[in-house]
Amino acid sequence: MSNNLKLAGKVALITGGTSGIGLGAARRFVAEGAFVFITGRRQAELDAAVQQLGSNARGIRSDVTSQADLDQLFATIQAEKGQLDVLFTNAGGGEFAPLGGITEAHFDNTFNLNVKATLFTVQKALPLLRDGASIILMSSTAGSRGDANFSVYGASKAAVRSFARTWTSDLKHRKIRVNAISPGPTDTPGLSGLGADEAEAEQIKNYLATTVPLGRLGTPDEIGKALVFLASDDSSFITGTELFVDGGAAQV
């Protein structure tokens, strides 16, 4: 394998890797020489993603909000590869609700998926992560903006950003780097799913593009390139930070 590949010989785990940014990252990681484990909740989508990615990828059905599933996930990686060099906690999401219309279920579901699941995914991965590994946490521009209806989602992503800081301190003795990535509006199936139908989805995308100084949505491949940077030795002196890949949306 060529030494020019940025992730040659590395073993990576991407949670929520069956579509969108997760799949875009997996494609880039494989192209740069990594062996990639991806997770998803639906076997058919996992199988389809792995078929796209080829022989250097393996899909494991896993729900990141389930402690038992996480235990099984890391037991499988331990048995098959014995270590991890890169962990990207991509799985997450959430619905939006205005202050005054927030339910306990909305809060619990959002924080379980974005905060609790991120915490326990990383904690359970620690025995497998080699010293000097790279952990990348999926945050969002919503964590530092103040958009209406985003209070619970934004707070959950701000918590993830905080994890990148505190875990950098917790893991400095092992030289493990922890960074957050915060994409702006990105053209993914998840974004399309925000619309009630195709026409509304297109309307949402067109509006979001107007909020980006570059005048368009990002692509999963563009986010994937930034993730390769954070996963590789190119970012060897970068830890505890937040990399915005947002076309300027949260910057100006």
Active-site residues: which are they?
Answer: 153
* Dihedral sign for Cα atoms in the order 240, 245, 247, 249: negative
Angle at 64 between CA 58 and CA 70, to 5 degrees: 70
Residues in a beta bridge with 166: none
Asked if residues 151 and 99 have their Cβ atoms less than 8 Å apart, the reply is yes
What is the rounded distance in angstroms from the CA atom of residue 154 to the CA atom of residue 216? 22
